Amino acid sequence: MSLPPFHLAFPVDDLAAARRFYGEMLGCDEGRSSEEWIDFDFHGHQIVAHLAPAGAGDRASNHVDGHGVPVPHFGLVLEMGEWRTLADRLRAAGTEFVIEPTVRFKGKPGEQATMFLRDPAGNALEFKAFADRGQLFAK
């Protein structure tokens, strides 16, 4: 099944910091930009950092498997090897995690490796992976 790319626009308070984080730290190629926004290629999906300082940052969290998961958040489901490589790169860069790289729902349907972090504007991102991607929507 071929999935269409999604588009997500989100607020940031500093475009230069967003460029460093998404471009340099996460390795997203930059597309079009202006003085108010930047397009990034987020593994084939279009995400757009919009300069909107009042809209950026933390909002709430929900309890999931013993952790306070930030809401809202966005991210990617990676292959396990990609997830481990990213986790190692983020740790080496001294990233402060909201939820450290861990395995959630161990031994249960939907078991997954996950990590949460924030971009420089405070927007929450989750990166996850499944040993068996067929568990993505497991109940």
pLDDT tens string 107-139: 888 899 999 999 999 999 999 999 988 888 888
The Cβ of residue 10 has, within 10 Å, a number of other Cβ atoms equal to: 18
Mean pLDDT of 61-90: 87
Residues 120, 57 contacting (CB under 8 angstroms): no
Give the integer Cα–Cα distance in Å for 49 and 56. 10
Give the type of residue at 132.
Answer: D
42 by Cβ neighbours in 10 Å (0-12 / 13-18 / 19+) ranks as buried
pLDDT of 1 over the 70 cut: no
pLDDT at residue number 88? 97
What ranges make up the beta strands (E) of 28-72?
Answer: 29-33, 37-42, 45-51, 60-64, 67-71
Residue of 93 and 65 predicted with greater confidence:
93
pLDDT of 66 over the 80 cut: no
DSSP H helix total and E strand total for the chain: 2, 10
Give the type of residue at 75.
Answer: G
The Cβ of residue 119 has, within 10 Å, a number of other Cβ atoms equal to: 22
pLDDT of 38 over the 90 cut: yes
pLDDT at residue number 70? 78
